[in-house]
Amino acid sequence: MPIPLQKLFTYRITAAEADFIKVGTRVAVPFGKSKIYTAIVYEKHSEEPKAYEAKEIFQILDDAPIITQIQLQQWQWIASYYMCSLGDVLRAALPKAFLLESETLVLKNNSFEDVSILTDDEYLIWEALEQQSKLKIHDIAKILDRKGILSVINGLLSKDAVDVKEEIYEQYKPKFVKYLQLHDSYTTDERLHQLLDDLSRAPKQREVMLGFFQLKSGSEEPVLMQELIRKSNSSTAIIKALVEKKVFDIIKVREDRVSFQTDIKPIHELNAPQLVAFKEIKGVFDQKEVCLLHGITSSGKTEIYTHLISETLAQGKQVLYLLPEIALTTHIISRLEHFFGDKISVFHSRYSVDERVEVWNNLLVKSDKAQIVLGARSSVLLPFSNLGLVIVDEEHETSYKQFEPSPRYHARDTAVMLGHLHGAKVLLGSATPSVETYYNAKQGKYGYIKLDTRFGNVMLPEIELVDIKEKHRKKRMKGHFSDRLFLLIEQALGEKEQVILFQNRRGFSPVVECSTCGVAPQCPNCDVSLTYHKFNNELRCHYCGHQQPLPKTCPACENPTLDTKGFGTEQIELELKELFPEAKIARMDLDTTRGKYGYQKLLRSFHDQEIDILVGTQMLTKGLDFKNVSLVGVLNADNLLNFPDFRAHERTYQLMVQVSGRAGRDQKRGKVAIQSFNPYHQILQQVTTHDYAAMYQDQMNERHQFSYPPFVRLVRIVLKHKDFVKVDTAAAWMGKSLVNSFGDQVLGPTSPSIGRIRNKYIKTILIKLPAKVSLKQSKGQIQRIRDSFMAIPDFRAVQVIVDVDCY
């Protein structure tokens, strides 16, 4: 069931249905008092459930499975590993269109005669049913123009005037494309000539006919209606007139929504180091299922992927290409479609429901269109039928971990499991592998291949640290720009080169603070300060979406001294416009890249050099490859380093190295300037020397000392409730029970740095499970504690979230 239930439910079917129903098909089933759900058949068996009477299914919805056996195994693994329900996984995996909606229809009972017993409202509906024979509930609501329609329907039902019926409908609507062909009566040239003569008084229709013959030019194929309209500059109305005259017939053909049509080019030949790596990877795959490709930025990892993809396709197998972020897919598609054309399907949440259903179906039937699936996180849950290779690009990216809602799975780790279930190979690629993956490679669990030369021997950029503490002291700052960074930008612009500036924060300034009393306006629903958005002069909460105009005076002391403090991409953009009035400046962050094509458009104009300086957040760091960027500036490395999280240093290293990789890709050596108050920080030093191994060693030492992954597994338990006392008591109970089982491996309960979100108070408990202890046993123990917790009436309303391998 697509709902968070811990158990599977058994329904009764007839012997005939048992023959017909297959595991993995959808059935509509009644549940609870009056609900109907789309459920998936998990198993056919003949054991009667003991705790309840099995109901009958409502309807069989598919003749063939829409979910594979391997998917069911994989989902089961996710449910047990990430401690969630199978229903959670089902909901995350299945495009919504598969989860049918049901709708109540009201039908007229034809044997009913005595209308005199009906009330006025009932009669209105009865009358409407004489016209239409069936009505939907919301039609009835319109007729009666008020909400209490249920009593009216109940009245009609009790008088036997109507029946009600649940109608189940598919939300998925295939798209049809219209083609035109000549009507049968126009098979001879004579008839055609006569037609053209007849049309001499209808010049527009005549034009269409001529266009039609041009497009057809002797072939037997029908002509695409849209193309004819475009070609002959006509309209649907004119075509319709010709259809009515019985000149044309319309043929409707179902067509998938997303298709790529390009000239296919042969894939690039690999250079010598790439070829070595490619062969080594294949060598690893003879022995192991998983291989890490540690290749520096611009070494040509993507080119190696294309060779592996090509070989996998030649074996008739499917490929899954995972990317950490939707935004990146457009960039990779445009690279891959040159080589693989319409063998690529794309799957991600910005695509429409119908587009997603198409990818799903194409995979199920092993269609040529879905030989390569490119997608973000959730594509790891798709119905592959013959998977040969999984590529996890930028495997270190934390966005692979689902945070909200359940299932809180890690797509990289789930991909490794997916590969295992299919007997497919899994390649993890990164210039800056995650500590966990590198550790797995060092332990020999994964193979490890290193690629150390950049394509075309482009030099790694020269990285310079700028001490802004010193610059502030010497008054050499203009806003957030040191004189050094200013000079570098000026030089780059002088050479007609492009600049990328990286700033870690979204919004104009995270905090608005009163310079008299020091109070910062707070979100009414969450324990955070509101963020100032300059363009509409508004304060917003990034946690709950609350927004309000910037007050003129301080809400605490009422002085007109609210001051913006800190900075974000928006302010950097404003400062730049003042510093470099001639330059074309653009900003890339969540605010400027909304919509399906927002990101794409911005990248295109940067690529076409319509933008000189691009200011952006994390989005800028990945996979982009611009030939004309000679300078990358990082405005402030410290807010990354100082983030209170055990992965903060690792992430800073990854982000700095990735963002540096955007500089200087062709002949010229790129330049990177990193501004920091603390340029002697070990991590920044390791960034300047590209010393991954040293970074890894330091991080491992720290994590060993303080017990963090990969030495332990983290399970976080989050409790939420509107009432602070309630959540506090509940967390104390939970914490105590956990300590009984796990001793000093339990940390907390504590209040997180943001202790209240959307009016709910939050408490967290962290459990560190040592790697050698049986994970299954520990999780069983946690589950038992959760069950006893839920059984306490006072705690039932407390929301409990379990996050395994939490970030």
Instruction: Kindly list the residues in this chain that would bind Zn ion in the complex (CB under 5 A).
Output: 523, 525-526, 541, 543-544, 546
Distance CA 714, CA 804 (A): 6
In three-state secondary structure terms, 738 is: helix
333 binds, among Zn ion, ligand ADP, none (CB under 5 to 8 A by kind): none
Coil, strand or helix at 204? helix
Q: Which strands make up the sheet holding 447-451, listed edge to edge?
A: 344-347, 372-375, 318-322, 387-392, 425-430, 290-295, 447-451
Alpha-carbon gap, residue 492 to 285, rounded angstroms: 45
Q: Which is nearer to ligand ADP, 613 or 657 (CB)?
A: 657
In the complex, least distance from residue 563 CB atom to Zn ion, rounded to whole angstroms: 21
Tell me whether residue 482 or residue 621 sits nearer to ligand ADP (CB atom): 621
User: Among ligand ADP, Zn ion, none, what does residue 414 contact (CB within 5–8 Å per kind)?
Assistant: none
Given CA atoms 211, 213, 216, 220 in this order, what sign does their dihedral have?
A: positive
Task: Give the number of other Cβ atoms within 10 Å of residue 439's Cβ.
Answer: 19
Question: Which CB sits closer to ligand ADP, 42 or 305?
Answer: 305
- Could you give the angle at the alpha carbon of 119 between the alpha carbons of 118 and 120, nearest 5°? 120
291 is an annotated ligand-binding site residue: no
Whose Cβ is closer to ligand ADP: residue 301's or residue 356's?
Answer: 301
Report the 10 Å Cβ neighbour count for 505.
Answer: 21
Which entry of ligand ADP, Zn ion, none binds 172, CB below 5 to 8 A by partner kind? Answer: none
How many CB atoms lie under 10 A from the CB of residue 485?
A: 25
Cis peptide before 710 (omega within 30 of 0): yes
Pick from 354, 350, 301: nearest CA to 327? 350
The reply, when asked if residue 84 is annotated as ligand binding, is no
Cα gap 600→709, rounded to integer Å:
36
For ligand ADP, give the closer residue by CB, 486 or 626: 626
Q: Which residue has the tokens 């970030």?
A: 807
**Which residue matches tokens 């009764």?**
12
Residue 523's binding partner among ligand ADP, Zn ion, none (Cβ under 5 to 8 angstroms by kind) is Zn ion
- In this structure, what token pair is assigned to residue 34? 């009056």
**Residue 526 binds which one of ligand ADP, Zn ion, none, with CB within 5 to 8 A depending on kind?**
Zn ion
Minimum gap (Å) between residue 301 Cβ and ligand ADP: 3
Residue 399-438 contact track with ligand ADP, rule CB under 6 A, x = bound: ----------------------------------------
Stretch 449-488: interaction string toward ligand ADP, x if CB under 6 A:
------x---------------------------------
Of 625 and 728, the one with the shorter C-beta distance to ligand ADP is 625
Name the CA dihedral angle for 404, 784, 79, 101, rounded to a multiple of 10 degrees: -70
Name which of 386, 450, 378, 465 is nearest 419 in CA terms: 386
C-alpha span between 684 and 673 (Å, rounded): 11
| Nearest-approach distance from CB 548 to Zn ion, in angstroms | 11
Q: How far is the CB of 377 from ligand ADP (least distance, A)?
A: 20
806 is in an annotated binding site: no
Alpha-carbon distance of 495 to 724, in angstroms, equals 60
The one of Zn ion, ligand ADP, none whose footprint includes residue 544, by CB under 5 to 8 A per kind, is: Zn ion
List the x/- string, 608-627, binding to ligand ADP by CB under 6 A: -----------------x--
Count residues contacting ligand ADP (CB under 6 A)?
A: 15
Which of 720, 180, 97 has its CA nearest to residue 359?
97
Element (H, E) at 477: strand 477-478
Environment class of residue 398 by beta-carbon count within 10 Å: exposed (0-12), middle (13-18) or buried (19+)?
middle
Percentages (nearest 5) of helix, strand, coil residues in the chain? 40, 25, 35
Q: Does residue 330 interact with ligand ADP by CB under 6 A?
A: no
Nearer to ligand ADP, 456 or 555 (CB): 456
Near ligand ADP in 251-310, by CB under 6 A: 268-271, 274, 295, 297-303
**Closer by beta carbon to ligand ADP, 21 or else 428:** 428
Q: To the nearest whole angstrom, how small is the minimum distance from the Cβ of residue 527 to Zn ion?
A: 9
Residue 22 or 627: the one with the smaller Cβ distance to ligand ADP is 627
Q: Which residues contact ligand ADP by CB under 6 A?
A: 268-271, 274, 295, 297-303, 455, 625
**Annotated binding-site residue numbers for Zn(2+):** 514, 517, 523, 526, 541, 544, 554, 557
**Annotated binding-site residue numbers:** 514, 517, 523, 526, 541, 544, 554, 557
